[in-house]
Amino acid sequence: IGTKAHGKLKADQWKAVIEFELRVFLMKNWYASDPTALDEQDKVRHELAVNTMELACAIRQGISYRITGQHIDAFARHMLAYLEGIRRILPHQSLLPSHHNALHIPDFLRRFGPMPGWWMFPFERVIGLLQKVKTNGKIGKS
């Protein structure tokens, strides 16, 4: 991970990174038990670590194979906290359409059930294969 030769991470790989590796790294390197004693840069790192945990918790609740109203409510709470954290920590950073879309996921979970039943990760593999096809960008000409 982290080298050009390794290629881009797929959705399942991102999931694994966020659920485990990133959490461990952030808690070990950026989290402080007493954030008041930190310099400004370390305070930002601490806030980013805490905020990333909100995202990780939202993802964990949202992608469960079994889902209840409590899971959905927890997802919504953590996602909103994550997005509010982005706006607070990085006020110059604009939110993206995907951030807005994430706020609709609780509705989808209520309507369609657990995310693994309707998410698009299987299609990502096909897209990855298509991206490797050599083309000059012109239809009918290679």
8 Å CB contact between 17 and 11: no
Q: What is the DSSP string of 15-63?
A: HHIIIIIHHHHHHHHT--S-GGGS-HHHHHHHHHHHHHHHHHHHHHHHT
What whole-number distance in Å separates Cα of residue 34 and Cα of residue 26?
15
Higher pLDDT pick, 96 / 37: 96
Calculate the average pLDDT of the chain.
84
The more confident residue out of 102 and 136 is: 102
Show the tokens assigned to 38. Answer: 């930190």
pLDDT in tens, 59-81: 989 988 899 999 999 999 999 99
- In this prediction, residue 125 has a pLDDT band, given cuts at 50, 70 and 90, of low
For the stretch 15-72, pLDDT in tens is 788 777 877 887 787 777 777 777 888 888 889 889 999 999 999 899 888 999 999 9
Round the CA-based radius of gyration of the chain to a whole number and report it: 18
At residue 75, the pLDDT reads 97
Look up residue 115 and give its DSSP letter.
Answer: G
